[in-house]
Structure formats: structure tokens, C-alpha cells
Amino acid sequence: MIWGIPRLTLEKENYNCNIVTMQKFEGISFVWALALMGVLALIFSVRALFAWRQVRQDARADYAYKHANNMVPDAIDRETYEKIYRRVYSPRGPLHVAAAMVAILIITPFAMIGFEAGLNLMYNLSGQSRVIEPGFLVWQFFLFFGIIAVWVGIAYLSARHYHRNAPGSLQFELDKFLFGDLDGAESF
């Protein structure tokens, strides 16, 4: 008995040590999910590209307006102002979403291969127990929630990078350029 479940014993002549691998997946839903993820990543990338071009134009117009109205210190030239403006208002959100989706596209097949190898190892080490037989509920449970855990981990790392590297407001960044790190305040 294994965990209270009777173990099937095989006759010695019927016993074989075949390594069992995951059954071939016949559906297309997994491929469609990856294709959809690729299309969404492309959409977010294109959106970020167009937004980046718009921010560049906005930076030029903002500097021209503020310089004409003496709202920018003389110590900041146009190139520096535009660089700071683009850093503050760049389309970081869509870019991080696209990067996370591309990471999911790249890592998911390798994660599936790793989960398959790990589950096959568990199945074979358990004496090929029917409880964890490929294709049954426990097997599917591990694959489903394992992939979700990988995706959540990628989303977490992307969100963490996004928030750790977030710039301050435009005025804060201009002051930081002019006066250095103000009173030792931490950057967020």
C-alpha cells in the first residue's frame, strides 16, 4: 500500500521497466494561447513605439513653451530637458507589459519541458502509481498550476522592475539634475 492506496503488483513475466513519458497533446488550445500572447505583445510593443515618438514631440513643444515663458532655468539646455522629460513621461507601462509577454512566450515551453521531466520522474519513482499517472487529474493539476505560477512569477518580476525604476515627477527630476539628490531622499 502506498498512502492507503492498494498497489497493483504485476507478475514477474509481465513486469517491464518502460519509462513513461507525457502523452502527446493533440489539442490546439495551448498553441493558440501562445499565439494570442504573441499578438498582444506585438500590440503593446507597437503602442509603446508610437507613444515614445509622441513623447519626443511633446518634450520639444514643452521645452519651447517653457523656455519662451522663462519657466526653465538657464542651466538646463534643450537636450537635457528633453532627456529628463522623456524619462519621466516615457511609455514604460506598455513596454513592461510587452516585455513580460515576450518573456512568457520564451519561458513557457521550457517550463513545460521541465514540468514534464519532473512529473515523469515523480511518476517513475513512485513505482508508476496510478495516482500520478500521466494525463490524469493530479498530473494535469501540477501542469496547470505550475504554468500559472511561472506566469505569475514573470508578471511579479516585471511589475517589480517597473516600480523600482519609476522616475519622480518632472519637477523632482529637474531639481535632482540641478541640485543633486535632494536631502538624501530615496529614489523609488
Is the model's pLDDT at 179 over the cut of 60? yes
Angle between the 78-89 and 29-68 helix axes, to the nearest 10 degrees? 140
- pLDDT score of 122: 85
- 138-154 average pLDDT score: 91
Which residues lie below 8 Å from residue 123, measured CB to CB, with a gap of 6+?
20, 129, 132, 133, 134, 139
Residue 41 has pLDDT above 60, yes or no: yes
3-state SS record for 121-166: HHHHHCCCCHHHCCCCHHHHHHHHHHHHHHHHHHHHHHHHHHHHCC
Taking 60 as the threshold, does the pLDDT of residue 8 lie above it? Answer: no
- In DSSP terms, 2 is beta-bridged to 5
Confidence band of 11 (pLDDT split at 50, 70, 90): very low
Q: Select from 37, 154, 35 the least CA-distant residue to 96.
A: 154
**Helices 78-89 and 170-179, packing angle to 10 deg:** 140
Summarize pLDDT for 113-126 with one digit per residue, the tens. 999 899 888 888 88
Confidence at residue 10, expressed as pLDDT on a 0 to 100 scale: 47
What residue ranges do the domains of the chain occupy?
A: 29-170
Q: CA-to-CA distance for 141 and 133, rounded, in angstroms?
A: 12
pLDDT (tens digit per residue) in 55-105: 999 999 999 999 899 888 888 889 999 999 999 998 888 999 999 999 999
pLDDT of residue 45 exceeding 70, the answer is yes
Tell which wins on pLDDT, 155 or 3. 155
pTM: 0.69
Burial class of residue 83 (count of CB atoms within 10 Å of its CB; 0-12, 13-18, 19+): middle
Fill in the amino acid letter for 179: F
Q: Name residue, grid cell 519637477.
A: 171
Alpha helices (H) along the chain: 29-68, 78-89, 92-125, 137-164, 170-179
Cα 52 to Cα 41: distance, rounded to the nearest angstrom: 16
Instruction: Name the DSSP letter for residue 72.
Output: S
